[in-house]
Each structure stands twice: as C-alpha cells, then as structure tokens.
C-alpha cells in the first residue's frame, strides 16, 4: 500500500469513528431524556412490553428506523457500524424495543435485493414499520436447516403453515420476517403481523425487558423476500452480532455501576473501592469487558464489510459477549452487597438479560460446536 493510500485509509477510519462518537452522543442524550430507569421498568411491566411512544420518537426525531435502509428506498443508507453504535446505547440501558430486530431485518432485506424486499424497506423508512424475526421452532430450535414451517405457492401469493417461538416482541410488531421452507428450499417471508391466519401469544420471559411471543401460522398470507439460504444465514449472523454488541455494552454498564457504588459506599471509614481485594475483582472484570467490546466490534466490522468471516466470528462474538455480561452482572450483584439482591435495584435486570442472551439464537455449547466446525477443529 502506498503512503497516500495509507493516509487516505487512516483519514477515512478517523472520520467514521468521529461520526460514530457523535451518533452515540446523540442517541445517549435522547435515551437519557426519554428512557431513564423508571421508564424502562414502566415499559417492561406494561403492554406491549416496550414503549411505543419512544419507538415513534426514535423513528421521527432520529430516523432510527431508516438508519440502514438504502437511499434507493428512502433511507439514510448507513452501514452496520452505525446500527451497532445505536444498539450499544440501547443495550447499555436495557431499553425494551423492537429496534435490534428491525435494524437486522433492514440489513438483510437490503442484501436480498428483490422488489418485495425493497417494498418493505420503503415502508420501514417512510412509516416506521417495526419488524420481528421468527426463526426458532418448538422442535428444530434455532437450527434453520431443520425448519419445519412450510411456504406454499398459491398463484401469486405464498401461504405459510407452522409455528415459531421465542420471537422477541413478536406479539407487538407490525411485520414478521419468517424463516420457512418451500419446495425449492429455505427462504425468508414477510408476514403482516395482523394478517388472517397469524395467531400471536405473548409470553413474559426471564428477561422482563424483552417480551417473547409464540407465533402460529395457519395458512397465513406472506410475501417471499428471498428464496435462498444466504439471506437466512445472514439473518442469523447479524442477530448474533447484534446480541454481542448489546451484551458487551450492558457488561460495561455493569462494571461502571459497580465501580461507582464502590467509590461512594464506605465501610470502616473508607470507600469500599479502596480495598485491594475489590480492586482486583474490578480490574479482572475490566479486562473481560474490554475483551468483549473488542470481540463484538470485530464482528461488526466484518458485517459492515460483507466479509465471509462473519459466519465464524458472529457466533464466537455472541458467546464471548453474553458470557462477559453474565460475569459482569453477577459480580455487580455481589459488589453492591445487600441492595444488589433487591428487585428495586437494576442489577438483576442485567443478570436476566445476560442469561437470555446466552440462549437466544443458540446456546453457548451449540455455537461453540458451530465455531469448531467452521474452524476445522471438529467434524
């Protein structure tokens, strides 16, 4: 690489980093005003499981729905690094929202490049349509190769039959992006959530900030947005990456909260944070958190670049970051002492989010086996 090319590349990276910092600052200020801890608890306890007013504000004031929608469909046309910067701020505060799945669905629809996908992208940009991704099934779990939900062509329309579960905010969104199997193979189908034949049942899960749903499809009308397995694989990889990003951000929030508490809580006439044993625990946790952030952003860069490496690094990032969040949340509960065990403190919410993120889109052992196969370490 020539000197001029190196300089140009460094300038481009610096410019992008500046834009991401500004985006984080803007989103953080927005959430500080409209999604403080009290409102997060109010949203998670009420219906539909998130704050529709906050969703609408984010769409109208910040253009969050149109973030990854390409310009040809009326969106901002940014890449996945921009989505990750936003997801960090939402993850740091555990904000209940259909935004993660909507952003991932947007990126996948853009990659599909079909007229049906572009039509849905235009609706997301113009109308702020929210999307949930329906992948897991009662028997197949998160293994898309074993998908039993069927898609049958009926003239110019498609009809879906089957059941999905663990659909995040699936009972409250506008559109379901469903993985289903047709005669030609597996693909992606867009289903209006209120269409005839769609039965949605909301479930309160361990993670109270993330309402799940069971979806039954009884000859539900659908639109095929992609007929190949590539879009399904990309959907899984981007969801794993999004979970990694928000997990790492939440782990960092746990560490920051614990350190802040140890600085103000006194015992034996001195701050708890002055005791060497607690310093060591925080130092070890800081190493874990920084490792998680680096791993998550490696996957984000791979996603933004359209790298084939994403198929390997996405599950690895999800495992590393979700485990880091569980460790950080558990340490936060312990370091806060008695108050950390109460329902009134937010530490338990982070612990529950960590456990949920360890299971969504595949358990740790499942994803480790997948990484091992892709890396050639096991058959």
pTM of the complete model beyond 0.75: yes
What is the pLDDT at residue 9?
A: 46
What is the pLDDT at residue 195?
A: 94
Write out the residue limits of the CATH 1.10.540.10 domain(s) in the chain.
Answer: 3-129
Domain 3-129: which CATH number of 3.40.190.10, 3.40.50.10470, 1.10.540.10, 1.10.3720.10: 1.10.540.10
Rounded to an integer, what distance in angstroms lies between the CA atom of residue 345 and that of residue 87?
A: 23
What is the pLDDT at residue 15?
A: 59
Regions of the chain with pLDDT less than 70: 1-15
pLDDT tens, 289-310? 999 999 999 999 999 999 999 9
Interaxial angle between packed helices 347-357 and 229-264, expressed in degrees from 0 to 180 and rounded to the nearest 10: 160
Pairing, β 175-182 against β 131-134: parallel
Output 299-308 pairs: Cβ under 8 A, ≥24 positions apart.
299/240, 299/241, 299/244, 299/245, 300/80, 300/81, 300/84, 300/241, 300/245, 301/81, 303/80, 303/107, 303/237, 303/238, 303/241, 304/79, 304/80, 304/81
Q: What is the CATH number of domain 132-227?
A: 2.40.110.10
What is the pLDDT at residue 14?
A: 55
What six digits make up the tokens of 165? 């579960």
What is the pLDDT at residue 3?
A: 53
Write out the residue limits of the CATH 1.20.140.10 domain(s) in the chain.
Answer: 231-374
Number of residues that this document lists for the chain: 379
Q: What is the CATH number of domain 231-374?
A: 1.20.140.10
What is the pLDDT at residue 1?
A: 46
**3-state class (DSSP) for residue 17:** helix
CA distances from residue 280 to 257, 326, 331 in whole angstroms, order as listed = 16, 18, 12
Work out the end-to-end distance of the chain between its first and last CA atoms, rounded to an integer number of angstroms: 39
């Amino acid at each position: 690489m020539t000197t001029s090319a190196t300089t140009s590349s460094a300038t481009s990276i610096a410019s992008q980093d500046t834009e991401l910092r500004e985006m984080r600052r803007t989103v953080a200020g927005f959430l500080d005003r409209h999604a403080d801890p009290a409102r997060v608890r109010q949203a998670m306890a009420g219906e539909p499981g998130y704050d529709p007013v906050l969703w609408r504000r984010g769409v109208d004031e910040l253009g969050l729905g149109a973030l990854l929608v390409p310009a040809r469909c009326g969106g901002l046309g940014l890449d996945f690094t921009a989505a990750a910067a936003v997801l960090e701020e939402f993850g740091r505060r555990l904000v209940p929202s259909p935004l993660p799945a909507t952003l991932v669905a947007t990126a996948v629809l853009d990659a599909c490049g079909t007229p049906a996908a572009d039509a849905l992208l235009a609706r997301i940009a113009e109308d702020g349509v929210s999307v949930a991704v329906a992948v897991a099934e009662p028997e197949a779990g998160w293994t898309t190769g074993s998908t039993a939900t069927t898609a049958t062509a009926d003239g110019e329309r498609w009809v879906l039959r089957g059941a999905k579960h663990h659909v995040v905010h699936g009972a409250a969104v506008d559109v379901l992006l469903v993985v289903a199997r047709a005669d030609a193979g597996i693909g992606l189908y867009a289903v209006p959530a209120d269409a005839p034949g769609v039965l949605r049942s909301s479930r309160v899960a361990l993670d109270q900030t993330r309402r799940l749903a069971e979806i039954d499809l009884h000859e539900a009308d659908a639109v095929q947005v992609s007929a190949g397995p590539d879009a399904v694989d990309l959907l899984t990889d981007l969801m794993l990456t999004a979970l990694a990003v928000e997990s790492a951000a939440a782990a960092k929030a746990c560490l920051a909260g614990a350190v802040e508490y140890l600085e103000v809580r006194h015992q034996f006439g001195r701050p708890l944070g002055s005791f060497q044993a607690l310093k060591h625990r925080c130092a070890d946790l800081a190493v874990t958190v920084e490792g998680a952030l680096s791993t998550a952003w490696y996957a984000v860069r791979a996603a933004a670049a359209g790298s084939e490496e994403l198929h390997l690094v996405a599950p690895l990032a999800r495992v590393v970051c979700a485990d880091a969040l569980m460790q950080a949340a558990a340490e936060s509960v312990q370091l806060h002492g008695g108050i950390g065990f109460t329902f009134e403190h937010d530490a338990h919410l982070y612990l529950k989010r960590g456990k949920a993120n360890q299971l969504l889109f595949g358990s740790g052992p499942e994803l480790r086996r997948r990484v091992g196969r892709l890396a050639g370490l096991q058959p």
